[in-house]
Structure 1
Amino acid sequence: MAISLIRTPISHPLIHSLRSSTLSSIDESLRRKRLLSSCAPSQLNPIRSEVSFCVGTHLIPHPNKVERGGEDAFFVSNYNGGAIAVADGVSGWAEQNVDPSLFPKELMANASNLVGDEEVNNDPQILLRKAHAATSSIGSATVIVAMLERNGILKIASVGDCGLRVIREGQIIFSTSPQEHYFDCPYQLSSEVVGQTYLDAMVSSVELMEGDTIVMGSDGLFDNIFDQEIISTIARCRDVVEAGIS
């Protein structure tokens, strides 16, 4: 599974390194406090409140898939306010001697390359369309893409059972819902002509605030860990960070 832990700090327009860092949540928080403390407002260049991602990722393959590096893929981009995505390869392709990881990896690579495309225009559903059309590998994947505008609006498009949670002050204030034909048969983008397309994506948006945490992952995360466990884990990490800073 792939997980992105994201906070949305108020950032100075000149601090590009803050918006583009890909760090562990603890190291990022320490660095963020140092960066923000050095940004005193200037009378000539007042600070404009904008939000952006600070990201930490972790990939934990299923024990039977470790040798292949797992069948999930993800990308992180600092374009605009930031973009993140997760794709989960469908294991059933292995029965046809097809590596299930190839399709999601190419899909995510294409999405990463297209995130700044003028036609995409910060629309994750259009990004899915263009990335899917550019993918030539055989296979299929469930996928979720989230793109952040600098005004704090997070736009989300998902096909299947990859998910996203927004956590604010110890509470989940937003979560995506899985799409399934029936149990254990989620919607998916595929190399096959018959299948779901970007038009089948579930599209949503949520307004973020400074300090929000976003957790994004494949069903390998959300099928095995309760939301309350995710919340408590994040709280413990914050306690460690605050103890280390104080």
Structure 2
Amino acid sequence: MICADYYAPKNDEYKPDGEDAGFISTEKQTSGVADGVGKWWSRYGIDAGEYARELMVNALSAHDKEAPAAGIDPKRVLCDAFSITESEGSSTACIVSHKDGVIRAANVGDSRFIVFRKDKIVYRSPIQQRRFNCPYQLGNSEKSDKPKCAVQISFPVVEGDVIILGTDGFFDNIFEKEAEAVLEKNGDLDPDELAKYIGELALSNSLNCFDDSPFSVEAKRAGKDYSGGKEDDITVIVGKIVRN
């Protein structure tokens, strides 16, 4: 699995780095994303992006200790990373690893991944949320979730499959049919080109105040008056399954 990423932080002078974080390990075919929860800033003046970044740095360090022959255990990596993350705040998280034609993942909240085969979605990881726009989230406070709640996933993949891993800023602004159309027209692009292309499409959609987005559709279902895209940090990692 070869991967590349795209990141566009939301325009915020107080948090120029945004609240998303992520990592890619080419050697061990593992990637992860985290999305710091913005309510920490509005309520307490805490930048949850610091928590998300520390969590992902610790996940990268934890996964380096895993034995390559045995394959990466994403939930164990997440547990180890969580245990040494000390920043205030909270975040969602999703870690995905590939070995011998199988994707293994651990997911908390609404950061997630989808698998495409021949330009069609064949798998989507589940979302964990208590209600609309209130995802499960890892953190050190008493009310935050712990990694034991992470959903563990195993899914077989084949050569040519495309995996898109992202935070909610990406998935809230791209309909699944849009993603399939992008792959149908641009599936031959390298992962870095594809990540940039689809990431910029999500960014453009997020700034659209009129057309429906996945976020606005779900908001209306929840009884909220909302139109257009959702301005947010956008992180996407594109992985392709290729022959070694």
Judged with a 3 Å threshold, the aligned counterparts in structure 2 of structure 1 residues 170 and 214 are, in CA distance, closer, same or farther, namely same
Q: Distance in 1 between matches of 2:65 and 2:132?
A: 36
Q: When the two structures are superposed, what TM-score results if normalisation uses the length of structure 1?
A: 0.71
Matched residue, 1:29: none
- Equivalence map 1:1-246=2 (5 Å): 53-64=1-12, 68-80=16-28, 82-95=29-42, 96-118=44-66, 122-149=72-99, 151-238=100-187
- C-alpha displacement at 1:65, in angstroms? 6.2
Q: Once the two structures are superposed, what CA deviation does each residue of 1:39-66 show, in whole Å capped at 9, x if it has no partner?
A: xxxxxxxxxxxxxx21121001223369
Q: Distance in 1 between matches of 2:131 and 2:16?
A: 28
What SS does the aligned partner of 1:177 have? Answer: coil
Identity across the alignment (%): 32
How many matched pairs? 187
- C-alpha displacement at 1:124, in angstroms? 0.5
Letter in structure 2 aligned against 1:216? L
What SS does the aligned partner of 2:48 have? Answer: coil
Q: Distance in 2 between matches of 1:168 and 1:65?
A: 40
Q: Distance in 2 between matches of 1:224 and 1:198?
A: 27
Larger Rg: 1
Unmatched segments (≥5 aa) in structure 1: 1-52, 242-246
What SS does the aligned partner of 2:178 have? Answer: helix
Q: When the two structures are superposed, what TM-score results if normalisation uses the length of structure 2?
A: 0.72
Unmatched segments (≥5 aa) in structure 2: 191-244
Matched residue, 2:238: none
Q: Distance in 2 between matches of 1:104 and 1:215?
A: 19
Q: Distance in 1 between matches of 2:76 and 2:188?
A: 39
Q: Where does structure 1 differ by over 6 angstroms across 4 or more consecutive aligned residues? A: none
Superposition CA RMSD, Å: 1.9
Q: Distance in 2 between matches of 1:190 and 1:78?
A: 28
Q: Distance in 2 between matches of 1:201 and 1:210?
A: 28
- C-alpha displacement at 1:170, in angstroms? 1.4
Judged with a 3 Å threshold, the aligned counterparts in structure 2 of structure 1 residues 226 and 66 are, in CA distance, closer, same or farther, namely farther
